Amino acid sequence: MGRANQDSWFRKLKRKHKDHWEQVFASIDNEALRIKVACLVFWDCYWQGDNDDWSIHKRLMSQYTPSVELNHTQDELASALHWLGYPIELAKERVKCPKCCTFDCCNKEKEKDERRR
């Protein structure tokens, strides 16, 4: 993905859903997936001084617990992010657990990856 695309995808995503975030998140049936998607969108698109309304994101983020990670698959998360407007390559990258993660769900994913090698 070119530099211009890397810098503009989140602006397009924010414009597309600006006044409709509540409906967008309500259309995600899996509650854990809805919470995780809200977290990622906020982390990826918010910056200080931003005048957009992030209250729905913050409300969903406040519901985050480690168990959220156990109630959706990486493929479901990547699909939801892509459906929202993330470039597919970025969506697939964003669903990966950080190397420093200690959640059981991430450790299970890492174990699967290691067994495949």
Output the six-digit token pair for 11: 């602006």
| pLDDT score recorded for residue 78 | 97
* pTM for the full predicted model: 0.77
What does DSSP assign to residue 97? P
Calpha distance 30→44 (Å, rounded): 21
| pLDDT score recorded for residue 16 | 82
Q: What is the mean pLDDT of residues 24-29?
A: 95
Output the six-digit token pair for 15: 């414009």
| pLDDT score recorded for residue 112 | 46
Whether residue 48 is predicted with pLDDT greater than 70 in this model: the reply is: no
| pLDDT score recorded for residue 50 | 77
